[in-house]
Amino acid sequence: MGESFDLVVIGGGPAGERGAAQAAYFGKRVAIVERQPEPGGAAVHTGTLPSKTLRETALFLSGYRQRQLYGVNVDVDPDITVQRLLERKDAVRELEVERIHANVDRHGIELVRGDARLTDPHTVEVRDDDALRTLAAEAILIATGSSPYQPAGIPYGDPDVRDADGILRIDRLPRTLAVIGGGVIGCEYACMFAALGVNVELIDPRPGLLPFLDREMGERLADAMRTLGVRLHLERRHERVERGPAGLVVTLSSGEEVLADGLMVAAGRQGSTAGLGLEAIGVGVDARRYVEVDADYRTAVPSVYAAGDVVGFPALASVSMEQARVAVCHAFGFTYKRQVSELLPYGVYTIPEVSCVGLGEDEAERRGIEVVAGRAFFRDNVRGQIMGDRDGMVKLVFERATRQLVGCHCIGERASELVHIGQAVIVLHGTVDTFIEMVFNHPTLGETFKYAAYDALAKLGPAE
């Protein structure tokens, strides 16, 4: 029978930790199974935290934020190791791991180390070296995250070829880096390395960057990346990658050849579900090994749930946490939280940052909604001038008939923070007049919301 728990969570990343805490908060006995030495998942150890640390390091060392203010131009030592650039990462990671342990202990959750495998809908076997534990549970939550998808034809055995999880293990900054894949991860790393002085060649088969963004924002980001030094090869597919006398050669569908010292492949992700025994008990996975779930994050097996990156889109840490909470509440009949908000903010940590929530102009048009957009630029904002951000912008999208805010799009410094102002107004059904009536601190970037509203108001006219 094994040890008895109300909930066994497989995976100690953002989804697993929050799902476990949610159940424990309501008095359930919970265990988290984690195969890595420390909890935190990719967010802490290979993805979000280290990549954002590199971003801040790149911004600091390159003087990117000060170039236009003081004419600063910093050359980064080409022989410096990426690990040296990421020294701050270790301190931040240790603090986050410490926080996770404190949260787990505070909720009375048992942390079980080892590799998990489901043997039936209510039983998880955990093997750690030669030790084997059997955990019985009323409900099981799969929160094992994802790993980089590795397309065929890429010579991953070459020491200069890395996927998105391995790119930060390179020994030295390359002079030239080719990036295959212009999604969020590809764009973020392209910007970071370009800011550090690396010549970056970004390859993507689509006509524009990040098509989920408002088109104007995508175009602004592309222009900013070109200014940063990223060379964009859009509407081009990679045909093959070979080792040549002068380095790596990436042949494109156009016939062009891109020469590079290093290659990063950001071709999407796949669910980390291998070895869990899911298919054997009836849990479905798709072609990318993402777990198939319903609106309540329940699998085809009623006692087994899944949340976070392991279920695929949108694969955001912020959303993963909420998915896990919803899954646990559904599993035990808690009425506390029964759905994830449909209004999801996106933060893209490129240089500059881009963040959005709600509808863009193009999406509104596709839905048959007549909208009016208002814009305000950081170059016209005192705080923006002080900071030296002359390219940033806030764009607000209002439905013409109701004057309500339906979309907020930001690019520039602190975009991922600013977007929440728009998110709150959308949730509260605020209108253009909401911003006109509000008083913002001065000088702040937040003032751009008022002036973007004034810009829209000139097109909407006074309220009837």
Nearest to residue 421, comparing CAs of 392, 450, 383? Answer: 450
pLDDT of residue 70: 55
Rounded distance, CA 464 to CA 462, Å? Answer: 6
Rounded distance, CA 291 to CA 310, Å? Answer: 6
SS3 108: coil
- For the segment 127-176, what is each residue's pLDDT rounded down to a tens digit? 998 789 999 999 999 999 999 999 888 999 999 999 998 888 888 889 99
Model confidence band, residue 42 (pLDDT cutoffs 50, 70, 90): confident
pLDDT at 345 over 90: yes
Same fold, 3-148+270-332 and 352-460: no
Dihedral sign, CA of 44, 46, 47, 52?
Answer: positive
pLDDT at 322 over 80: yes
pLDDT at 79 over 80: no
Any idea where the domains of the chain sit in the sequence? 3-148+270-332, 161-267, 352-460
End-to-end CA, the chain: 70
- For the segment 243-280, what is each residue's pLDDT rounded down to a tens digit? 999 899 999 999 999 999 999 999 899 999 999 999 99
- For the segment 187-222, what is each residue's pLDDT rounded down to a tens digit? 999 999 999 889 999 999 999 999 999 999 999 999
* Domain made up of 352-460: CATH architecture: 2-Layer Sandwich (3.30)
Rounded distance, CA 40 to CA 101, Å? Answer: 10
pLDDT of residue 147: 92
pLDDT of residue 246: 87
Say which residue the tokens 């890395």 belong to. Answer: 162
* Domain made up of 161-267: CATH architecture: 3-Layer(bba) Sandwich (3.50)
Say which CATH class 3-148+270-332 falls into.
Answer: alpha beta
Considering the chain, what percentage of its residues have pLDDT values greater than 90? Answer: 77
pLDDT at 420 over 80: yes
Q: Which two tokens stand for residue 108?
A: 């009375």
Say which residue the tokens 């079980």 belong to. Answer: 112
Q: Which two tokens stand for residue 311?
A: 């279920």
Q: In what order do the strands lie in the sheet with 238-244?
A: 238-244, 247-252, 257-260
Helices (H) and strands (E) in the chain, counts: 15, 22
pLDDT of residue 51: 86
Considering the chain, what percentage of its residues have pLDDT values greater than 70? Answer: 95
Rounded distance, CA 449 to CA 374, Å? Answer: 9
pTM for the complete prediction?
A: 0.92
pLDDT of residue 57: 83
**pLDDT averaged over the chain?**
92
Say which residue the tokens 């180390």 belong to. Answer: 113
